[in-house]
Amino acid sequence: MATGQLFSRQTQALFYNYKQLPIQRMLDFDFLCGRETPSVAGIINPGSEGFQKLFFGLEEIAIPVHSSIEAACNSHPTADVFINFASFRSAAASSMSALRQPTIKVVAIIAEGVPESDTKQLIAYARANNKVVIGPATVGGIQAGAFKIGDTAGTIDNIIHCKLYRPGSVGFVSKSGGMSNELYNTIARVTDGIYEGIAIGGDVFPGSTLSDHVLRFNNIPQVKMMVVLGELGGQDEYSLVEALKEGKVNKPVVAWVSGTCARLFKSEVQFGHAGAKSGGELESAQAKNQALREAGAVVPTSYEALEGAIKETFQELVEEGKIAPVSEVKPPQIPEDLNIAIKSGRVRAPTHIISTISDDRGDEPCYAGVPMSTIVEQGYGVGDVISLLWFKRSLPRYCTKFIEICIMLCADHGPCVSGAHNSIVTARAGKDLVSSLVSGLLTIGPRFGGAIDDAARYFKDAYDRGLTPYEFVEGMKKKGIRVPGIGHRIKSRDNRDKRVQLLQQYAHTHFPSVKYMEYAVQVETYTLSKANNLVLNVDGAIGSLFLDLLSGSGMFNKQEIDEIIEIGYLNGLFVLARSIGLIGHTFDQKRLKQPLYRHPWEDVLYTK
């Protein structure tokens, strides 16, 4: 492996398996370091394409999303780092696919638990093709002031505290990602900081070893000393011992192998990492520390003394003139995300939507303040849900039952009415459910099913002003307006609409007052004297009875009743009900596999 520097200020990566937070942390680090271009060139999300919006400083940018590794590499030939956030189940396959791309030089595998046999294959392929694998089970790595992998070094506050926004003189390598953060802080306190830091991962077979990176650091002129943090278990540290003995490392190495406390336990102990388990005296922390010390590394007597050893080694290099003082720079302020600032109470921002009918922020959704569990446990019906979501209150049961009756009676009126006809024709054209439904709904208006609001509006105005049926009907005639809710193409004095009769019977039995319905019946009596088909239709019955429901329940004031009618609540009831039938007609045509509809010639009057 050896060679030298892996990353630079121009390094760009491909990020596999989209994770918003680690990508945003990489971009924030880029901005902190003063990079001109984002370090994430593209995102790979199998099966997805498009863009993901993220922030690069104050600027919102769109990062391309690709459905495959091959497509991403072809689109971003300068991106040579592959950051793999796949699960342990697919990490090996996707990593191997990335290694086989000629543009990829470094693969970082974040997942823990990758099968050891798969890892060995990755290692063999990488070494045979002069590529680098970091991980599995790694947090990644960082080159100070240039590039970082995913969540390496943690939060921006920690990065600033550890002075990772500009390069120092220390090369650091560790098995542990968590301890890397601790050592970045320690090194920043007693030296000029990190030049590059790598966490190789805690698995038994890491893709690259401690000695691989130490030898690489040895070839980087800007790295003046190395700090190594190993752990008990395995024999990785002994490859570093051999390198030191053979004189392959000519820069100071400060090392410590953690796990010396293992001897205090009576039985063998498995520490946090898969590889942190001593398989004998040779793999103990004490044996490794002693071997490193004898090979020429600076090894303190305890972890607590590690900071002092690093400081002393650094100071010696400064005194020898091998390290020049680093000029400190003030990093730019990373803009704070709005949601974080709002939660902390530092800013306030206007909302874009107001909702008063439902709330999905808690443990369960609420309709007008009523939890979903209550709705189910207390046996609420569709009418009860409509009363909560439309009227923002729990109406009495006779009211919600009336709503349900209206829905049942208006659900369908056969295949010949305009709405059903449109849905049938659309379904037979091979269109989807939503298109077929909408084509039918679009016919609802003043001439078809949309007269409920107008019926309620005109009946209420006439009744409240004390107009007689004669004055009301003749006044509408003078204005050139048909009386909404009166008249039917089929029904007549002698063939009454059964739906109207059922609604009237229910209201007489359950409503405390039916004054508006009685007024509508008086209007019907007058209109029938003019024509046999000018009967009270279902729109007029629902409109007048809803006025009685709203006023008789005692739960709405005059202003609220006027607003309900003006907004279009009652037509909404017809839209909701008729959607049931239109969906039914759509399913019926598709189930029957009906062909494209063509209107017959004989039913068309062709004329000039």
Burial label for 430, CB within 10 Å (0-12, 13-18, 19+), is: exposed
The Cα–Cα gap between 215 and 545 comes to 88
| Total number of residues shown for the chain | 608
**Phi/psi at 173 (nearest 5 deg)?**
-140, 140
Give the DSSP H/E element, type plus range, for residue 148.
Answer: strand 147-148
* Residue 488 annotated to the active site: no
For 14, the enclosing helix (H) or strand (E) is strand 13-16
Answer for the pair 107, 98: CB distance below 8 angstroms, yes or no. yes
CB atoms within 10 A of CB 153: 28
Backbone phi and psi for residue 521, each to the nearest 5 degrees, phi listed first: -65, -35
Q: In whole angstroms, how far apart are CA 384 and each of 76, 222, 369, 390, 509? A: 56, 73, 13, 10, 20
Q: Give CA torsion, residues 37, 38, 40, 41, to 10 deg.
A: -40
DSSP state of 572: H
Report angle CA 364, 368, 369 to the nearest 5 degrees: 55
* Dist CA 567 CA 564 (whole Å): 5
Could you give the 3-state DSSP secondary structure of residue 598?
A: coil
Rounded Cα–Cα distance for residues 193 and 177 (Å): 17
- The DSSP annotation for 209-275 comes to -HHHHHHHHHT-TT--EEEEEEESSSSHHHHHHHHHHTT---S-EEEEEE-GGGGGSSS--B-SSTT
Q: What DSSP assignment string belongs to 87-120?
A: -TTTHHHHHHHHHTSTT--EEEE--S---HHHHH
| Nearest alpha carbon to residue 382 among 577, 538, 585 | 577
Q: Where are the alpha helices (DSSP H) in 347-497?
A: 372-377, 382-391, 397-410, 418-428, 433-441, 452-464, 469-478
Determine which one of 76, 273, 488, 585 is catalytic: 273
How many C-beta atoms lie closer than 10 Å to residue 280's C-beta? 9
Structure tokens at 236: 């990785």
* Residues that are catalytic: 273
